[in-house]
Amino acid sequence: MIKTKAYAAQTAASLLAPYEFQRRAPGADDVQIEILYCGVCHSDLHTARGEWKGTQFPCVPGHEIVGRVVAVGSQVDKFKVGDLAGVGCMVDSCGHCHSCAEGEEQYCENGFTGTYNGPMFGGENTYGGYSQTIVVKQSFVLHIRHAEADLASVAPLLCAGITTWSPLRHWGAGPGKQVGIVGLGGLGHMGVKLAHAMGTHVTLFTTSPGKVEDGKRLGADRVCVSTDPAQMAALANHFDLIINTVAAPHNLDAFLGLLKLDGTMTLVGAPAEPHPSPGVFNLIFKRRSLAGSLIGGIRETQEMLDFCAEHGIVSDIEMIPMDYINTAYERMLKNDVKYRFVIDLATLG
Ligand code: NAP
Ligand code: ZN
C-alpha cells in the first residue's frame, strides 16, 4: 500500500482539509503516477459539496491529473518510468458492453468508475487528483506529448478539453458550420479554443461583459453578451450547434431560438437544480434538438490531447497552492477564474 497525502471534504458542509489515505500498490497492469498538477473543475465543487447527491465521504476530488510515471506493473507495455502521463474523469469501466467496445467508456452500460467518488455506480470509493500519487490501469492512462514546460496548462484538457471536444466532433463542427459556446469558464474557454482550431465559425455567449475581449483573444469570431436582448435577437435561427457549459439553471429557450433548422443545443453544464423546461414550439417549429454529452472516451481523449499538442493548444490557467482550494471554489462561484485553477501538488508538502 502507498501512503498518500491529499485534501478531502469530510462532509458536504465542511471545507477541504489535509487528509491521508492508502493507495493500492501497482498491480501487473497498473501505472503509478506522481501527480504534479491537477485542474479544478466545477464538478469537483458540485461533488465535494454534495450538490449532485450521492457523494461518498471523505471526498478527494480532482480529475484533471497530470504527472510523471514512477512505477509500472510487470505487464505494462504502454508506459515506462519517467513518462509524462495524464488521467481524466474515469479509471475503469466494464470493458465488455456495447459502449466500451465502441471506445465510449463514459457511456459504459454497467457504469464507469469515476476517478473520484467511484461508487456513483457501486463499488469502493475512489480518490482523485488532489493528492500526491495515483495508481490506474494502463488502458485509462493518457500519453502527454506537449512540452514538459506546458504540463500544468495541459491538465485541464483531461476534463474541460475532452468534454467540449467530444460534442464538437460528434455534431460535426468544422469549416462552414456556425457553433456557439455558452459560458466562458473552464469548459467554455476550451470549447472556444478547440472549435476555432477545427476551423469552425465560433460565437461565444457570456453573461460577463468584462470577458468580451478575452473571448476574441481565445478564438471567438463573435462575442454576444447573452443578457442583452438586442444582441441575442440578432442571432435568431443562426447556429448549427450550441454547446452550453453553464453550471446554473437558466432559460434554455433563449438559446434554442438561435438554432437554425435541425440545429442542436447540447448541454454539458450540469447544474444541481434542473433548468426550467423549454417550450415545445421552440423545438418543433425548426425540428431542433436538445441534447447532452458526457466527457469523452479514452481513445477520443488521446486524439484530443495529440491534436492539442500538434496545434499548441493548452488551457489558460491560474496556478494555486493546495491550501488555496476553498478560496478557489468561492471564486469559481463568482465566475472569477481565467480560466482554470490548477493546483501545484508540490505545495501539498
Ligand atoms: P466554470 O468554470 O464555473 O464555468 C461556468 C461558466 O458558466 C461561468 O464562467 C459563466 O460564464 C457561466 N455561468 C455561471 N453561472 C451562470 C448563470 N447563473 N447564468 C449564466 N451563466 C452562468 O465551470 P466549468 O468547470 O466550466 O463547468 C461547467 C459545468 O459543466 C459544471 O456544471 C460542471 O459540473 C459541468 N461539467 C460537465 C461535464 C460533462 O461531462 N458533461 C464535464 C465537466 C464539467 P460567463 O461569465 O461567460 O457567463
Ligand atoms: Zn470535470
Ligand 1: atom nearest CA of 246 is 7
Distance 41 CA to ligand 2 centre (A): 4
User: What's residue 286's pLDDT?
Assistant: 96
Determine if ligand 1 sits within 6 Å of the CB of residue 295: yes
- Residue 349 is predicted with a pLDDT of 76
* Closest Cα to atom 11 of ligand 1: 183
Residue type present at position 135: V
Distance, first Cα to last Cα, the chain: 20
| pLDDT tens, position by position, 219-232 | 999 999 999 999 99
Contact 83, 272 (CB under 8 A): no
Task: Looking at the CA of residue 41, tell me the nearest atom of ligand 1.
Answer: 25
**pLDDT beneath 50, residues of the chain:** none
Kindly report the pTM of this predicted structure. Answer: 0.97
CA atoms within 13 A on the CB side of 151: 20
Listed in sequence order, the DSSP H helices in 50-182 are 98-101, 151-154, 160-170
CA dist., res. 83 & res. 69, Å (int): 5
Nearest listed ligand to the Cα of residue 64: 2
Distance CA 199, CA 184 (A): 19
**83 close to 71: Cβ distance less than 8 angstroms:** no
Q: What are the chain's domains?
A: 2-159+296-348 (3.90.180.10), 161-292 (3.40.50.720)
Collapsing DSSP to helix, strand or coil, 15 comes out as coil
Is 275 in contact with 252 (CB distance < 8 Å)?
yes
Tell me the residues surrounding ligand 2 (ion) with CB < 5 Å. 41, 43, 159
pLDDT given at position 120? 56
- Strand ranges, E, within the chain: 2-8, 17-23, 30-39, 65-72, 84-87, 90-92, 113-114, 133-137, 142-143, 178-182, 201-206, 222-225, 239-244, 259-267, 289-292, 317-321, 340-344
